[in-house]
Amino acid sequence: MSRCVEVLLGPPWSADVMRGAHVAVVDVLRASTTIATALANGAAGVIPVADPADAIAVGHRLGRERVLFCGERDAQRIEGFDLDNSPASFGPSVVAGKTLVMTTSNGTRALHAVAGAASVCTVALVNRTAAADVLAHADGDIVIVCAGEANAFALEDAIGAGALVDALLTLVNRVELRDGARAAALLYRSVAGRLADAIASADHAQSLAQKGFAPDVTRCAALDTLDVVPMLRDGVLVLSPAASPG
């Protein structure tokens, strides 16, 4: 039986399409990249929450010494929080063993819009092949959700989704692409030879660069630098066990 792959290119995201499917949430700039970096560097888990007040409530329930409050509004660290949303802030000496409570403008919001999925993971360019491998070994349809920017389409997420579709096509025998997936794959292939430039040309990349985060944009545009897949389990993003061979 062939597996259906769809890409929801931007908000609003259809809950009907996600129900029962394996859902991959893509926020290339920067939440999905930062979450993958944090788990690769030894964070115990990442709890995505909707807003700063929720973060404080969850953090205090878990115990202040175990958690780091992280996230951004308008790309900057939230007042009173420990970390911003820059992957560069999430080094091993900072995050190892800690539970991160995170709120971002678009990425964690998209994670909260996912309803009734068979599984949920987060994907960026940096962990595209690792995620494709895990998704290829699961049964059922795949829905890739682009977090977007300010409630609209974001170029970098569509490119990231297309990169994931492209990898899935090499790993899954029988795939039926829906129109969103077809469009994302076409877009990715049209820029694959100049990925860093294409990501840097996106509106959100330019806004990040103006705020001093150009190195983040470069880091987020790198393909397959991390071999980790954050999976949502009981409200916490944790490392997926490696996909079994075969």
Q: How far apart are CA 237 and CA 71, in angstroms?
A: 15
Which x/- pattern over 164-203 shows residues binding ligand MLT (rule: CB under 6 A)?
A: ----------------------------------------
- Identified binder of ligand MLT from the candidate list 11, 45, 59, 107, rule CB under 6 A: 107
Which x/- pattern over 54-93 shows residues binding ligand MLT (rule: CB under 6 A)?
A: ------------------x--x---------x--------
Q: How far apart are CA 162 and CA 156, in angstroms?
A: 10
For residues 131 and 121, the answer to whether their CB atoms sit within 8 Å is yes
Q: Which is nearer to ligand MLT, 105 or 119 (CB)?
A: 105
Closest by Cα among 10, 24, 28 to 218: 28
Closest by Cα among 161, 169, 191, 187 to 177: 169
Give the 3-state secondary structure of residue 103. Answer: strand
Q: For residue 11, state whether it binds ligand MLT (rule: CB under 6 A).
A: no
- Identified binder of ligand MLT from the candidate list 30, 98, 128, 219, rule CB under 6 A: 30
Q: Which is nearer to ligand MLT, 31 or 39 (CB)?
A: 31
Which x/- pattern over 124-163 shows residues binding ligand MLT (rule: CB under 6 A)?
A: ----------------------------------------
Residue located via tokens 């795939």: 175
134 phi and psi angles, rounded to 5 deg: -65, -45
What DSSP state is assigned to residue 218? H
Least distance in angstroms from the C-beta of 174 to ligand MLT:
34
Q: Which among 27-35, 41-49, 59-67, 90-98 is the span making contact with ligand MLT, rule CB under 6 A?
A: 27-35
* The two three-digit tokens of residue 118, written as one number: 């068979």
Q: How far apart are CA 8 and CA 18, in angstroms?
A: 9
Residue numbers of the site for ligand MLT (CB under 6 A)? 27, 29-31, 72, 75, 85, 104-107, 208
